[in-house]
Chains A and B, each alone.
Chain A
């Protein structure tokens, strides 16, 4: 069975702090995809990144970076120099060969000025 665990329910930081959101996954598929989505208070899920299981290179996009480690089944997300606009619920998700997205329970990030 596939499963995504986001152990951090809520994180609070002050602006300009760095913050890392943890994601641990379980799957028996050899080919799979990992995703991060952002859900701001407006409710719409915003796609951030998609990574396949054969590409373990870390990725950086502006203030966002992702660390994929197959050895620990983790796909962590770091926001550098956080801003108030980063306040949202962040979801990690997994899909295998069936294309069904399995979401974690989300981490609520609050960034205070």
Chain B
């Protein structure tokens, strides 16, 4: 069974530029999550989707971050404009449903200069 796919794996941009990340969850997983992991810290949830609806986006900086999950399958996370403090690894995870174990993708390492 294929795992969670993410692209790109690495991205370097200048501050104030925009960037987008893509995630394809495990087939059949209804719940999709985006996490931000700053170096030396544990992942922090940015947004959670159940099918194509948003369940929790309370920690998403909505002035610059946006995410969508059209058709309830793959998802994109966008940052516009990027700030230096957005440098982090962005992890996508999926699960069969709420309160089930989450399976993570390899992440996208973003560097903002």
Contacts and interface: CB of A to CB of B under 8 A. Distances in A.
Interface of A: 4, 33, 35, 37, 42-47, 50, 91, 93, 95, 98-101, 103-106
Nearest to A31: B99
B44 interface: yes
Nearest to A47: B101
B40 A45 contact: no
Interface string B7-41: 00000000000000000000000010100000011
A44 B105 contact: yes
Contacts of A95: 99
Interface string B69-113: 000000000000000000001010100001111111111010000
Contacts of A105: 40-42
A64 B55 CA distance: 34
A33 B102 contact: no
A45 B43 contact: yes
A103 B109 contact: no
Given A45-B43, A45-B91, A105-B41, A100 B105 contact: no
A104 B44 CA distance: 10
Contacts of A4: 42
A63 B91 CA distance: 28
A37 to B, nearest CB: 8
A81 to B, nearest CB: 26
B101 A98 contact: no
A14 to B, nearest CB: 25
A74 to B, nearest CB: 17
A47 B48 CA distance: 18
B43 to A, nearest CB: 5
5 cross-chain pairs, A with B, having the tightest CB-CB distances, nearest first: A103-B42, A45-B104, A99-B98, A44-B106, A50-B101
